[in-house]
Amino acid sequence: MRNYFLGARNTWTLGLLISLAVLCIFWISTGNSVIGGVSKSNDDGAGASHNVMHMLNEVQRINDTMFVCSESFEDTRAYIQNRPKDDYNDLPIIYFVTPTYPRREQIPELIRLGQTLMHVPQIHWIVADDYDGCNNFLDVNRFGIPYTHIASPMPDAYRSISPSPRGVANRRAALNWLRQNNKKTGILYFGDDDNTFDLRLFNEIRDTKKVSMFPVGLIGLYAVSSPVVKNGKVIGFFDSWPAKRKWPVDMAGFAVNLEYLSQHPNATMPYRAGYEEDAFLRSISLRMNEIETKANNCTEILVWHTQTQKSKAPMVRIDSQYLESEKSNLGALFRELESMGVSHQSDSAGIKAQISKDGKSKPFTFFFR
């Protein structure tokens, strides 16, 4: 009889633990009142309740899996951009994080990206693969640059969520690798394997003091996501999907100084598609007046969210008066997009454009009176 009651009690306890785990995962995935441990109502960027952040981080940490497949800290390139490798020794290292996952385009896209990075000095490429084991086809060593190849599969609990939070486990693994290896100097940048990068971008982000930002082309209904800059300062964000995000930016649209990141040891991003950037920037307590603008005051495109698909260039409705050069960066930015056939501006037709600030969309008259 005693064994029967012990077995029943153990079964009841196990059931309770499973129910609590499922409830926690559901809470995280839906983000009813919290985005990645940061309250939606927090507009000052200082973060939400420490207890909530701690609890969510603990639950998510249980599900994270990461192991290093291979890595090399040796740069075997003799020359970079027609100069001896040693000419660049004084430059800060850029830790370039690329989440990837098995698909038919994976290898060619990594080859294309790797051959771009071959021209970048002082770089360490962290390739984090959403795979249960070490994918031998990912021969990152072939490019001669320092690298780390990580296997970082998405936890099974999140694979059934739609839309799937792809890339989150990979980026979280890279953040863990940086902490485990005590990397506190250099620049962190998240660069997807299907993006296209102008080599000038790497020169610009290398002197980031805290957080720098810049436009990303081919994003959303506007075909661009960018900070709005007035008199050299960021005043809002031009992004077609504000979604109550304090920081409506693309993952490829910002860089972070590792010394600044190290001051926020709990910085992370949630398993919630679309809110990874917002929650990560909230978790490092970023403030608007700390943003450093790059790409000629955000008037140029130095990174593109290219994908292996064909899309029609959108028409974006913005009154021409707001595109005058003295008002903001948007005029020069749209002239460049127009000349390349990426996006078109109209006074009367197309998708009505707005600027967002603190998670709220506002008309252009709010910023330019």
Q: Which residues are annotated as a binding site?
A: 194
137-159 exposure pattern, b = at least 16 Cβ within 10 A, e = fewer: ebebeebbbbbbbbbbbbbebbe
Residue positions forming the annotated binding site for Mn(2+):
194
Question: What would the two tokens of residue 43 be?
Answer: 């507009």
**For the purposes of burial, counting CB atoms within 10 Å of the CB of 236, is it exposed (0-12), middle (13-18) or buried (19 or more)?**
buried
Give strand pairing partners of 21: none
Sheet hosting strand 360-362, strand order edge to edge: 196-197, 303-304, 216-217, 224-230, 233-238, 355-357, 360-362
Q: Residue 359: which residues within 8 A CB-CB, separation 6 or more? A: 40, 43, 242, 244, 245, 246, 248
For residues 189 and 177, give the distance between their C-alpha atoms in angstroms, rounded to a whole number.
14
Which candidate in 71, 277, 292, 300 is catalytic? 277
Catalytic, 109? Answer no
- Given a contact cutoff of 8 angstroms between Cβ atoms, the answer to whether 294 and 324 are in contact is no
One-letter identity of residue 289: N
Question: What residues act catalytically?
Answer: 277
